[in-house]
Amino acid sequence: MSIGMQVAYLFLLAIPIACIAWTVTHEEVFKEPREYCLRQSRDSKSPLSRKFFYLFTCEYCFSHYVTVVMLFITRYHLLYPDWRGYLIGGFALVWIANIYMSLYSRIRIDIKKEKIVIEKEELEVEKLK
């Protein structure tokens, strides 16, 4: 595969990785399991157990595991056709996926801020009536 195609795949494969990692670590659909994992990551007596459960609450950490699964499914590699390509591709996918998640988070914050400003302005208009 040409380097251009490898880079295109990099940016495309990072999308589902970011989507899965964000959904599991932030969205309402996984709230209960995430809260359980959060409690276990704080309260477990075993350091190994605390670290294991923390992985399901951190989008950065969880994206590494999603990436490993994605590499296994797609056999994607970057620059080298052997294990080095999988290693480089894996870290590159994690990096791009986390950029996507950061951008998504920023957009969500901006949207929430706009909604709050609009609601405040609507309340002020209602008070003037």
pLDDT at 98: 96
Domain limits for position 23: 3-98
In a domain, 86, yes or no: yes
In a domain, 110, yes or no: no
Q: What are phi and psi of 8, to 5 degrees?
A: -60, -45
pLDDT at 89: 96
Beta carbons of 40 and 53 less than 8 angstroms apart = yes
In a domain, 103, yes or no: no
Q: Tokens 């495309």, residue?
A: 12
pLDDT grade, residue 125 (50/70/90)?
A: confident
Could you read off the pLDDT of 17-74 as tens digits, one per residue? 999 999 999 888 999 999 999 999 999 999 999 999 998 888 899 999 999 999 999 9
pLDDT at 126: 84
In a domain, 114, yes or no: no
The structure's pTM equals 0.81
What is the number of domains present in the chain? 1
pLDDT at 15: 97
In a domain, 105, yes or no: no
In a domain, 30, yes or no: yes
Q: How many CB atoms sit inside 10 A of residue 49's CB?
A: 13
pLDDT grade, residue 124 (50/70/90)?
A: confident
Which pairs with CB-CB distance under 8 Å and at least 24 residues apart come from 86-90?
89/6, 89/10, 90/64
In a domain, 71, yes or no: yes
In a domain, 52, yes or no: yes
pLDDT at 56: 87
The mean predicted confidence, pLDDT, of the chain is 92
